[in-house]
Structure 1
Amino acid sequence: MKGVFAVGLVACTFLFSCKNAQNGASNNEASTNGFTNEQLMNRVQQDALKYFWDFAEPNSLLARERYHVDDIYPDNDKNVITTGGSGFGLMTILVGVERGFIPRNEAVKRLNVMADFLASADRYHGAWSHWMNGETGKTVPFGQKDNGGDLVETAFLVQGIITIREYFKNGNQEEKLLAQKMDDLWKGVEWNWYTKGGEKVLYWHWSPNYGWEMNFPLEGYNECLITYILAAASPTHTIDAETYYKGWTRNGKYTSDQSKYGFPLIVKHNGAEEFGGPLFWAQYSYLGLDPTNLSDKIVKNYFDLNRNHVLIDYNYILKNPKNWKGYNKNYWGLTASYTRNSDGSTGYTAHSPTNDTGIISPTAALSSFPYTPKESMDFLRYVYTEKPDFIGVAGPYDATSVHYDNWFTPRYLAIDQGTISPMIENYRSGLLWKLFMNAPDIQQGLKKLSFKSEKYNIK
């Protein structure tokens, strides 16, 4: 199957040599070293696709949790697949089809394999676990008690499932079959089960061994908004609006009147009320959910909320209170990723202004394109033209640092690579936003929760 990806590469004869890449980049477009903005966006989207195409788990064809280029045991964890990252991968593959990076018919074949695997994998009242074994479909525990359904990871997967359904539902016979498979998967999730017997809040986890012992209610604000949107939209196992407003919005008490660097926070980010949390909170729920002029009873404009969040992070980097070498307008972005431990080894942490260790995660700026197109483009151009060592076999590596002598970890995580191409595409064409927001069941769910969007005629 890897040869299929080569077809997409040949189609553009390697993007850096193209004078006019797809989407019709103009000859007078601002460029550095001869690369237009359009060529750079094509390049990084194509590179990120490799993670989900060339390096997919070989049996299920879903996204491996991680890929370590430097692993002395290259087969280590090769069959551990991630539910949420696979959802992001579905959307990355759609971008690849739409832009001609991969053949449509080959993508459909792969997506059918993925759908069949998901249909036979372990599910817990319809929800999948955080990790699964790609050979068997059995749960791989994420923690001792986290060995059952993970509703948030399931939501990230279903966000992708719905975009696949919408993209192919009017296609040929094989594509319509794929769309039906995806629809069946979506309708099988028992969202209302995760209210723990009717409490007016959703819970993250349920285990057949430990029940509700993890006890993690989904109360805003963090990355989990999409879970409530999908739960309300479900035509089979839905929740009511009261669950959203009492649970997620904390009875409307999660608003904030605080600002940072002149940008209103709008809501209280959980545990990060001063600066906002890591930037994936502005990304994971919004690969399909279009925040543009989107409102509910509490938040007047979700785009402003997310744009302000990103700009606070960006301005924090410019202020650079810890004096890290390299932080500047071209090199910024704090989010969860691999990190450099004090002894030089590689770890993992959720980077943010309140947890700043001198590490820049490329996915942070690249997945913020819809909110900060100029600032994100500056980062994209810098990392591809000035820091080639930070670029590997599937695009920018997961974590980098100019401060630590241009340190980088030659590793990738699905959840980080998986937001890059979809969010850049939403900036470029709105593809995934249009697919998700125009889905009839999603529109009904948004209306149930009193969301409004003139763009999609949701009133």
Structure 2
Amino acid sequence: MKQTITFYIVFFLSFLSVPISLMAETYPEVLFENSVLPSSYSGSKIQYQGDSWIKNLRGNLPVSDSIFFTPNNALSLNYISSAQGYWQADVFYPENYQASRNGVLILKLYVQSETTIDELPAFQIIQADSVMSQPMLLKDYLSNFKEDTWLSIEVPLNRIQGISNDHEIVAIRFLQQGADNKEHQLYIDQIEILPSRTPMNKLTSAAVIQNVIPFEKHVDISWRLPLTPSIRYIKIYRSENNKDFRPIAIRPIFATKYSDIVSEVGKTYYYKITWLDFQYRESPYSSVKETKTKLLSNEELLNMVQQANVEYFVDGSEFNSGMQQFKRSHGNAIVSSKLTGVGIMALISGVNQKMILRSVLVDRLSKISDFLTSAESIHGAFPALMDGRTGKGVFPNPHNPVIDLDGTSYLIQGLIVVKQYLNPKDATEAAIINKLTSIINAVEWKEFMKPETPFLFTNWSVDTNFEEATPLLGREALSAYLIAWASPAYNIPFNDSISITKNLSEETYYGLPLTIGAIDDSLDTLLTAFAVFDPRDKHDKTANYYKELQNLILIQYRRSLEEGSLPAGLGSNLIVDSLGWVNPSSIVSTYPLNPGFALRNLVEVYRNYPTLFWSEYGFRTINIKENKLSLNTQGIRFGTEAIMIENGKTNLIWKLFSQDQDIRRIVDALFDADSNGIN
């Protein structure tokens, strides 16, 4: 126990003094670029036995923030190889990567110790289904070996024996080669697989820095990127005296800005950037921009978070369809139904707060409505993912199209809300309203009810029908049922909230009653579900929904204080769940339910732990036990946060949803003592 507490203290305090790269998004072909978090890289795993050894932090490779090829860190490979032992270190792709057979594995190597070329490790490629290449020697691909300098290793994939063209690449494994019983210190950076031919033209024009916007604990730097195919990265430099500039980050070309975490309020900082080509040669520097951080009020901090959230959805627009990209990367046209629905409502909040122009929203909706009108659907419902260029669904099994009714329900929620927001007297907006109405009314909700049950089912397929489908249950499904009950043409039989609620029983936890659900219910999911449904003054014969949500927030907070992983005195307003996850966005999203608690959390997290939690688009979710990020649903969290902040300020999204006549009819009946008045 003592070791665990010591680790958390060191881990947390390290964020207060160590500047880190907050970048998580990069190119799919890049296996390692930077660790988002300091100390260690969670996308790695080591093993050793016998007299051999490799340095690790809780089973992960350490990272160095002082020696790196691209800022802000590199992997540290500190090992001893013995004849009576063995070691290996795997570095995983964030997602499996299907490489071209003509690709080239490239990595950067720095040898700090007294190490001969024969003492370098071997490597092999790990593919899906446990397919492994033959071990290859790093030394065979070094023609000019030197210590204390960065070396480039380039290995054509077609020279690696044992690689299968039919399997995706999972990881690269570095492994023991030789048995010299010496301690070696290497650094490895920028591991990627590139085409055998990449643009070779040197970048002769100076980079263009566009804006440098100061806040309290960070500065946002943006740029104007030319249409030059040779540019691969943007490299950002910072100085405190306008003389000594040091590199602080690189960003891929699909990124529009970088948030630089700084240590002092009221201090002047200077920034400049360069472009990097595929050979990591730099363009001429941009001009220098000067800025000064400033103290922000609580209201300004709240606006800062909301604007960052909104910009996630502005920057994540897929060019062809206007839908929200599932994952941001260069040339990625895969879009998400659920993210788009949440994103539409986040954009409405941005327009209402004058953070973006109304024309940005209207232009986006014009594309979305055209896309959805012709996109692949079954019974009016959509797949979870679609190709923004073609409208075709993207499925794990291309021979089994699956409908995501949960994602469709969030998409329809967004369309219902924005339909109320648009102006029917404006010709352009009126045309969009008509298209949205057709899309909303086309969902045949009845088709997704399993016979002889009152439940809607998601993951439904024409081929497998309900065999692999799962029911939508719990409070988080309430909005989906409201829409399905309210559908003008394809409504499902009305039932009260008890029929869709799981774990119905009144229990007391940490001094507070909780009637519906359990204390382990995801706060994220519940808040997203209540983003459109106003729980105030809403109660039925089982529960007061507003009070239930307030109690759940406080129950999870009290449990975190009593059972949480943080040492006393660190993060008194944070909620740490039983698995070690800290999710500031979900707490800020409670703003309309418990504004004081939400603001205290926002202020504490941003001012005390910005290097840990803040990113270009808002607060990240971190697992403090495993030193890793949660990225799969981060976009939903950003959207929910923007929406709920707006609901706390103006009730706008709640109001718009309730203005729909069919929705209002169902809500009035559902929360009436006599719920039999549905026609």
TM-score > 0.5, shorter chain as reference: yes
Q: 1:43-442, aligned counterparts within 5 Å?
A: 43-67=304-328, 74-75=329-330, 78-141=332-395, 147-197=401-451, 199-219=453-473, 221-242=474-495, 244=496, 247-249=499-501, 254-267=503-516, 269=517, 273=518, 275-299=519-543, 301-323=544-566, 328-332=571-575, 353=577, 356-389=578-611, 390-397=613-620, 399-401=621-623, 413-442=634-663
Structure 1 residues without counterparts, runs of 5 or longer = 1-8, 18-31, 68-73, 335-352, 453-457
Cα distance in 2 for partners of 1:169, 1:373 equals 31
What displacement does 1:359 show?
2.2
What displacement does 1:257 show?
1.5
What displacement does 1:56 show?
2.1
CA change 1:34–1:179 in 2 (3 A) is same
TM-score by length of 2: 0.53
Instruction: Name the SS for the 1:140 alignment partner.
Output: coil
What displacement does 1:402 show?
5.4
Cα distance in 1 for partners of 2:406, 2:567 equals 34
Cα distance in 1 for partners of 2:567, 2:396 equals 34
Q: Deviations over 1:30-80 (max 9, x none)?
A: xx973112111111111011111012222222222234xxxxxx438x222
Q: Give the structure 2 partner of residue 3 of structure 1.
A: none
What displacement does 1:144 show?
7.9
Cα distance in 2 for partners of 1:327, 1:87 equals 36
Structure 2 residues without counterparts, runs of 5 or longer = 1-209, 218-292
CA change 1:260–1:143 in 2 (3 A) is farther
Instruction: Name the SS for the 1:256 alignment partner.
Output: strand
Q: Give the counterpart letter for 2:376 in structure 1.
A: D
Conserved? CA contact 1:241–1:448, under 8 Å: no
Q: Give the structure 2 partner of residue 21 of structure 1.
A: none
Conserved? CA contact 1:233–1:446, under 8 Å: no
Instruction: Name the SS for the 2:504 alignment partner.
Output: coil
CA change 1:59–1:307 in 2 (3 A) is same
Once the two structures are overlaid, the 10-residue window that deviates more, 33-42 or 114-123, is 33-42
Conserved? CA contact 1:359–1:401, under 8 Å: yes
Conserved? CA contact 2:476–2:530, under 8 Å: no
What displacement does 1:263 show?
1.5
Conserved? CA contact 2:400–2:463, under 8 Å: no
Q: Give the counterpart letter for 2:666 in structure 1.
A: G
Please tell me the root mean square deviation across aligned C-alpha atoms, in Å.
3.0
Cα distance in 2 for partners of 1:104, 1:60 equals 18
What displacement does 1:362 show?
2.5
Instruction: Name the SS for the 2:571 alignment partner.
Output: coil
What displacement does 1:147 show?
3.2
Cα distance in 2 for partners of 1:413, 1:140 equals 20
Q: Give the counterpart letter for 2:513 in structure 1.
A: P
Q: Give the counterpart letter for 1:36 in structure 2.
A: S
Q: Give the counterpart letter for 2:514 in structure 1.
A: L
Cα distance in 2 for partners of 1:426, 1:46 equals 14
Q: Does 1:443 align with 2:443?
A: no
- The structure with the largest alpha-carbon Rg is 2
Instruction: Name the SS for the 1:81 alignment partner.
Output: strand
**How many corresponding residue pairs?**
389
CA change 1:183–1:50 in 2 (3 A) is same
Once the two structures are overlaid, the 10-residue window that deviates more, 414-423 or 312-321, is 312-321
What displacement does 1:151 show?
1.4
Instruction: Name the SS for the 1:257 alignment partner.
Output: strand
> Which one of the candidate residues 290, 297, 303 is aligned to 1:36?
297
CA change 1:388–1:322 in 2 (3 A) is closer
CA change 1:128–1:201 in 2 (3 A) is same
Cα distance in 1 for partners of 2:565, 2:215 equals 38
CA change 1:324–1:191 in 2 (3 A) is farther
Conserved? CA contact 1:37–1:377, under 8 Å: yes
CA change 1:450–1:144 in 2 (3 A) is farther
Instruction: Name the SS for the 1:224 alignment partner.
Output: helix
Instruction: Name the SS for the 1:174 alignment partner.
Output: helix
Q: Deviations over 1:76-101 (max 9, x none)?
A: 8x222221111110000001111111
CA change 1:415–1:315 in 2 (3 A) is same
Instruction: Name the SS for the 1:66 alignment partner.
Output: coil
CA change 1:266–1:193 in 2 (3 A) is same
